[in-house]
Amino acid sequence: MDILQAIVLGTIQGIGEFLPISSSGHLVLVPYIFNWQYQGLSFDIALHMGTLLAVLAYFGKDWVGIIGNAIAHDREKIDGEYPSNIFWIIMIASVPAAFAGYFLENLAENALRNPLLVAIMLIVFAILLWLADLGSKKNLEIKDIGYTKGFLIGVAQAISLFPGVSRSGVTGSAGLLLGLNREKAMRFSFLLATPAVLGAFVLTLNKFNASAINLPFIVAVATSAIFGFLSIKYLLKYLKNHGFLPFVIYRIALAALILIIYFTR
Please tell me the distance from the alpha carbon of residue 96 to that of residue 132, in angstroms, as a whole number.
21
Q: What pLDDT shows up at residue 24?
A: 76
Answer whether residue 78 shows pLDDT above 60.
no
- Mean pLDDT over the full length of the chain: 87
Which are the contacts of 79, defined by CB distance < 8 A and separation ≥ 6? 65
- In this prediction, residue 109 has a pLDDT band, given cuts at 50, 70 and 90, of low
Residue with the larger pLDDT of the pair 72 and 232: 232
pLDDT (average), residues 249-264: 91
Q: Three-state secondary structure along the chain?
A: CCHHHHHHHHHHHHHHHHCCCCHHHHHHHHHHHHCCCCCCHHHHHHHHHHHHHHHHHHHHHHHHHHHHHHHHCCCCCECCCECCCHHHHHHHHCHHHHHHHHHHHHHHHHHCCCHHHHHHHHHHHHHHHHHHHHHCCCCECHHHCCHHHHHHHHHHHHHCCCCCCCHHHHHHHHHHHCCECHHHHHHHHHHHHHHHHHHHHHHHHHHCCHHHCCHHHHHHHHHHHHHHHHHHHHHHHHCCCCCCHHHHHHHHHHHHHHHHHHHHC
Share of the chain above pLDDT 90, in %: 52
Please tell me the distance from the alpha carbon of residue 111 to that of residue 58, in angstroms, as a whole number.
34
Q: What pLDDT shows up at residue 28?
A: 76
Q: What pLDDT shows up at residue 108?
A: 59
pLDDT digits (tens, 9 = 90+) for 22-47: 887 788 788 888 888 766 666 777 78
Q: What's the Cα-to-Cα distance from 160 to each of 17, 60, 77, 203, 227, rounded to whole Å? A: 11, 24, 30, 18, 20
Residue with the larger pLDDT of the pair 64 and 101: 64
pLDDT digits (tens, 9 = 90+) for 127-150: 999 999 998 888 888 989 999 999
Q: What pLDDT shows up at residue 56?
A: 94
Residue with the larger pLDDT of the pair 68 and 176: 176
Answer whether residue 111 shows pLDDT above 60.
no
Please tell me the distance from the alpha carbon of residue 228 to that of residue 219, in angstroms, as a whole number.
14
Q: What's the Cα-to-Cα distance from 96 to each of 75, 100, 103, 199, rounded to whole Å? A: 27, 6, 11, 13
Nearest residue to 193 via CA among 90, 109, 121: 90
Amino acid at 33: I
Q: What pLDDT shows up at residue 202?
A: 78
Backbone angles phi and psi of 180, in degrees to 5:
-70, 150
Nearest residue to 66 via CA among 42, 43, 85: 85
Q: Three-state secondary structure along 70-103?
A: HHHCCCCCECCCECCCHHHHHHHHCHHHHHHHHH
Please tell me the distance from the alpha carbon of residue 106 to that of residue 84, in angstroms, as a whole number.
37
pLDDT digits (tens, 9 = 90+) for 207-224: 767 777 789 889 989 999
Q: What pLDDT shows up at residue 178?
A: 95
Answer whether residue 53 shows pLDDT above 80.
yes
pLDDT digits (tens, 9 = 90+) for 163-194: 889 999 999 999 999 999 999 999 999 999 99
Q: What pLDDT shows up at residue 197?
A: 85
Answer whether residue 238 shows pLDDT above 90.
yes
Q: What pLDDT shows up at residue 94?
A: 95
Highest-confidence range of 18-32, 72-86, 230-244, by mean pLDDT?
230-244
Q: What is the pTM (predicted TM-score) of this model?
A: 0.88
